[in-house]
Every structure is written in C-alpha cells, then in structure tokens.
Homo-oligomer: A and B are copies of this chain.
Amino acid sequence: MSDEPQPPAARPVFYVSDGTGITAETIGHSLLTQFSGFRFVTDRIPFVDTPDKARQAVEEIVRAGASHGVRPVVVNSCVDPELNRILAESGALMLDVFAPFIAPLEEELGAPRQSRVGQAHGMVDFEVYHRRINAMNFALTHDDGMAINYDEADVILVAVSRAGKTPTCVYLALHYGIRAANYPLTEEDLESDRLPPRLRAHRRKLYGLTIDAPRLHQIRQERRPNSRYAELETCRREVSAAETLLRMERVPMLSTTHASIEEIASRILEELGINRGMF
C-alpha cells in the first residue's frame, strides 16, 4: 500500500440543456476556470426536451457520481420546471444558469418570461442565417489576399503569413456576420515603407496582427519544417519590418502571441467600433 497522498477524485460536471447546451457550457466553463486547483471531467447532455430524456440524463449523472465516488455538478439551462424537477432527482449540485436572473428581469420589465425551450441557439430566420453564411463565404474567398473585392469588406486584417489572420477572419464571420478579408504582407510589401497601394483606399478598415518571432518560427516549422520561410531569422526580419510599417502607417495592431481567437476578435471589434450582435 502506498503512503502517497491520493489526488482528489475528478469531479464529473454535466452541461445539461433543452437546446445545444452552448449557454450552459460557456458559463460552466467560465466558472470552472475559477477553481483551477481541481480536476473536472466534463460532458454535455444536449436536447433534453422531454421527461424521458430528462430521466435518461439523471441515470447518466447518477452513474458518473457512483463511478467517480463524488457528487456531480450539473450546469443546467433547461427552462421547463417539470424537466428541472426530474433533473433535481439526480442529487447533483444543480446550478441553474437562468433561474437567478429571471425574477429580477421580470420585475424590471414588468412582464413574465415566455418559456419556450432551446431558443437561444436554435432555429434562426433565413435572413440572419444568410448574412452569416455570406460572411463566411466572404472570409473563405478573401483569404490570403487572392480575391480583391475589398470594397465589401468590413475589416481587412494585415499581417505576415501565419500570424493568425485566417482563424480570426473565420471567427468574425461565423460569430458576428462580419465580412473579414485578409491581406498577407509579402517580402516585397515589407521592403517598402508604405502600405501596399491596394490597401491605402481602405485605411479605416485595416487592422494589423503581429506575433513574437520565436512563436511564429514554431508555427511555421510545423507547416514547412526547416524551410527558409520557417527560419527564426526570417521570422524576426518579417515581424520587425511589418511592425515598423504598420506603426508608420498608424494601423492599429495587436499581438496574437498570447491571445485566443476570441480575444483577438473581441479587441478588433472594440477598436474599430463595430457593434454587432453575436450569433
């Protein structure tokens, strides 16, 4: 027998929802990051929209509690009180993501909520769907400076290759319906101390991304190992030239080295003063 102290049991956490469970998972994940000393095993149980499915969920939750030897946590966004009554039978710690806010909102607005299930991320109207898909097609066809219809762009991201332009463009399109194009600075561009002519007419839409050279080197190595393109020295030179150029031309700029895609997207919207509801 070992005298080593046992690590604490991993705690099962379930994101339960009558819809996709995205709201429950988003807030649940944020809550768990505030208890960083613990181990959690997370799982989602979406589309719980009938008493039968709620009972199946309860079984799964109870089973997880028994196998981990610890009380599960349920982050729950079901709206129907009947479903919530059934889920409570699991004996888990129930965190109902809407309950605490409904009463104050009802009081403030002077009206009761309408309890339709799975609304937030569910069915959408055609126009909204279309705006989103069009923005995404725009991002995909305006990737890497190939197409040139910058007139229609809401944002043009400018950076050296592999600094994070593409994922940011796709994220902006997918979540905000923003037409985000990107322009990769070429070696030729970097020899100049002016913006490429094609970009000058769109100055207000420009946003620069930069990145630490060692990190860029690491990313490019994965893509084209041991190429001149990936060399640390190449990365250093390109990043330094790009930063100088963007600074001279007063293009707002953000380092992606330690930022998540969400953070980059959020800062771009903030800085360019774009207010769009999130999908």
Contact = CB atoms under 8 A, between A and B. Distances in A.
Please state the number of chain copies in the assembly. Answer: 2
Contacts of A99: 100
Contact of A98 (B34, B170, B260): B34
B170 A115 contact: no
Nearest to A36: B114
Contacts of A98: 27, 30-31, 34
A34 B174 contact: no
A29 B95 contact: no
Contact of A95 (B19, B105, B123): B105
A113 interface: yes
A170 B250 CA distance: 33
A158 to B, nearest CB: 19
A109 B26 contact: no
Contact of A222 (B130, B136, B219): B130
B123 A35 contact: no
Interface string A42-63: 1110110000000000000000
A193 interface: no
A133 interface: yes
B260 A124 contact: yes
A81 interface: no
13 contacts: A23-B30, A26-B278, A35-B109, A35-B113, A35-B114, A38-B111, A44-B266, A93-B108, A123-B258, A123-B260, A129-B260, A136-B166, A170-B170
